[in-house]
Amino acid sequence: MMKANTKSMATEAPRLPRRTIGREGEHTAMDEGTQKLVMGCGGLFSLGAFIGFIVLMCSIHTLGPEEQVVIEGPDGKYVRNGPKQVVLSPSRKKTFRDATRLGPREYAVVKHSRSGVVRHEEGPKLLWLEAYDELVAVKSKIVLQLQEYTRLVDSTTGAERVVVGPEVLIPAPLEAAPNGTESAIVLSADITVLTMNKTTGMLLLITKEGVFTPKPYEIILEVRQATLLSPREYALVKNNLNGQFRHEAGPQLLKIGAYDNLISVNTKVVLEKDQFVVLKDAKTGAQRVVKGPTAFIPSPSESHKGIKKAAFIDTDTAVLVLNRVSGQQRLETTRGVFIPEADEEIVETRELIRVLPHEAVVVRDAQGKVTIYNGADGTSAFFLPPYTSIVQMMWSDFSEIPKTPADGAAASEPVVKKVPVTTIDLRTRKIFFSYEVPTSDNVKLRLDGTIFWKIDSVGKMMNTTSDPEGDVWHRSRSALVQAVSRVTLQNFMASFSNITTDASHVQAADGFYADRGVELESMELTRFETVDDSTSKILQQIIEETINRINRLQVQESENEVRAASLAADIQLEQQRTALITTKSTNAKLEAEMEGDADGSKIMRAASAFIGGLNGSVPDVDQRVALYSMHEKLKSKNIDTAHLAGGNAKLFMTPADLNLNR
């Protein structure tokens, strides 16, 4: 029975699976030589020998080219690396693991499990760990380019070192690069770097041009861009160590210091010729004035409220100036450009107030004292003094006939608007009125007209009334109501002009207007009508009848005038005829006289020639005259005889002509 079993085992032994040493805790099939040996010896050994052989065969392990076994022996752990065959006691603990292949840019972090020491294994290689080694990680080497660097910190000592590229770096076992690979900073003319030393806390500004890499324990706080300041700019810079401010003027490429902070870039204050600026020092509170034209930079502690324009003072302009120290005001009238001092302030620009000869302006000061500028007294213009104001009054405006409300109960009180008055006109003013007045026979009339008045004394007016125009209107109304209420409608219609004139004279003389400094010149009635419709109709009939009577009288007067004109024309015609006859007779007389004068002149010349021709023969003048007389008589008789002989004329002669006595 035992033999049969042994044979069966021997014959089946070759079918046992082959086993080799593989990965940790695994077995593979035996190689071909081992199988032949087992098959050849299967029949020779006993069962115990066969079991021992199996145990022996199970202790033989084959390690691959990258395989390793860790064996725990009585003296500690040890390793066997492949490729090889090893016989391992089945009673010992074994751990199989692969070797680690490291590339050219890799390294392995290995830790000794007993000592805890960590080391780095650099590639490229096939890494075989020692018995007590543990592979922590496989990492890539740190590759630094030309302008790169890395900061390595030792976790045990805290020591730092900076490695600058180009370089391929394997850090020390306990070193770490918290920031990884960093780029170096290229410094140019407008780039600076602010660094801080972690050991001292001091700041350092790096301005040297080139590639900058920080040193160990030096960190980069800020990369700064330099500020380009133009000629019209300046920068406000604060020193964080002492808190002081300073100004950096342009033009420049400003690189502030390590402890400086650029607050702002401002434009220089540029003042033209007519400009100024008031600067206030925040430290001392002192103020100063800078006048143009200039361009300047204020001190860091100075501030201003903007550029102001100087005031131009001429004949029509003055400036009211406030002194902030004393609180007093003054009026500056000096012609030219005015720029206030540091403690002064221009309150306002005041224009020249012109007062015409017929105007007056009232000014009140801070104490209530009133000053009157009257153009009639020679005041032509003035500037409003400090602490004064022009008095503004509210006068009733009767430039148009005031409207009466529709409510009959309030019909006697017209609606009058108020207007502001600052310049008082001293000329004659005109007020329109519309009064409702009852006559003595209870006929209510509406009287429209105008009141002419003027201001005589501004001082009295200011002391007694605030609305002289309203006083005149209401006083005139009262006087006209009293005057009309004493007469009947018939008397009013017959003499309304006299009634109005008398009313104005009465109220002008009662002292009411004189006390108020005004003068009532006249009150004229331009229109009247009855308020009641029935009275209006009756009055209309009376007016129509009166008009008809007036028309008839005018017609009769026209006829009389025509007749008188005709008679006057006849008389004038006869007078002209008489003048014609008189003129004709006068002309005939003149013609006869002229003819007589002409004939007389002829006779005289003939007589003179006749008598003068006898000077030699008849010396006696009387004889010559007698001869001439006889000559003329004979000539006349010859003419008469010729006329008688030549015609049918009859001759009548007196005895004297015949001289019958002879």
Mean pLDDT of 556-571: 88
Architecture of domain 310-351 in this structure: Roll (2.30)
Q: pLDDT tens for residues 321-339?
A: 999 889 999 999 999 999 9
* Helix, strand or coil, per DSSP, at residue 651: coil
> Quick one: which of 198, 276, 264, 206 has its CA closest to 237?
264
Q: Which helix (H) or strand (E) holds 645?
A: helix 621-646
What band does 361 get if pLDDT is binned at 50, 70 and 90?
Answer: very high
CB neighbour burial string for 497-530, b if at least 16 within 10 angstroms, e if fewer: eebbbebbeebbeeebbeebbbbbeebebeebeb
What band does 251 get if pLDDT is binned at 50, 70 and 90?
Answer: very high
- Can you tell me the distance from the alpha carbon of 142 to that of 215, in angstroms, rounded to the nearest whole number? 18
* Pair of tokens at residue 647: 């015609």
Q: Give the per-residue pLDDT at 650.
A: 67
Q: Give the per-residue pLDDT at 152.
A: 92
Q: pLDDT tens for residues 590-623?
A: 888 888 888 778 777 777 777 777 777 777 777 8
- Can you tell me the distance from the alpha carbon of 340 to that of 276, in angstroms, rounded to the nearest whole number? 9
Q: Is the pLDDT of residue 7 over 60?
A: no
Q: Is the pLDDT of residue 28 over 70?
A: no
Architecture of domain 392-531 in this structure: 2-Layer Sandwich (3.30)
* Helix, strand or coil, per DSSP, at residue 431: strand
Q: Is the pLDDT of residue 314 over 50?
A: yes
User: CA dihedral in degrees (215, 216, 220, 223; nearest 10)?
Assistant: 10
More confident residue, 284 or 657: 284
Q: Is the pLDDT of residue 403 over 70?
A: no
Residues above pLDDT 70, as percent of the chain: 88
User: What residue ranges do the domains of the chain occupy?
Assistant: 1-98, 144-308, 310-351, 392-531, 614-662
Q: Give the per-residue pLDDT at 39.
A: 54
Q: pLDDT tens for residues 511-545?
A: 888 899 999 888 888 888 888 777 777 777 777 88
Contacts for 114-119 with beta carbons within 8 Å, 24 or more apart?
Answer: 117/173, 118/173, 118/174, 119/173
Q: Is the pLDDT of residue 305 over 90?
A: no
Q: Give the per-residue pLDDT at 63.
A: 85
Q: Give the per-residue pLDDT at 401.
A: 66
* Pair of tokens at residue 579: 């003048």
Average pLDDT, the chain: 83
Q: pLDDT tens for residues 129-151?
A: 998 999 999 999 999 999 899 99
Q: Give the per-residue pLDDT at 4.
A: 35
More confident residue, 312 or 505: 312
User: Please, are residues 259 and 241 in contact by the beta-carbon 8 Å criterion?
Assistant: yes
* Pair of tokens at residue 106: 């890799």
Q: Is the pLDDT of residue 256 over 60?
A: yes
Q: pLDDT tens for residues 373-395?
A: 998 888 889 999 999 999 999 99
Q: Give the per-residue pLDDT at 454.
A: 92
Q: Give the per-residue pLDDT at 16.
A: 35
Does the pTM of the predicted model rise above 0.85?
A: no
Query: Residue 420: CB partners within 8 Å, gap ≥ 6?
Result: 392, 393, 394
Q: pLDDT tens for residues 218-242?
A: 999 999 999 999 999 999 999 998 9
| Beta-strand pair 118-122/106-112 | antiparallel
What band does 639 get if pLDDT is binned at 50, 70 and 90?
Answer: confident
Q: Give the per-residue pLDDT at 277.
A: 92
Q: pLDDT tens for residues 427-469?
A: 999 988 888 888 888 888 888 889 999 999 999 999 999 899 9
The length of the chain is: 662
Mean pLDDT of 174-185: 89
Alpha-helical runs (H) found in 427-532: 458-464, 468-484, 489-508, 512-515
What band does 14 get if pLDDT is binned at 50, 70 and 90?
Answer: very low
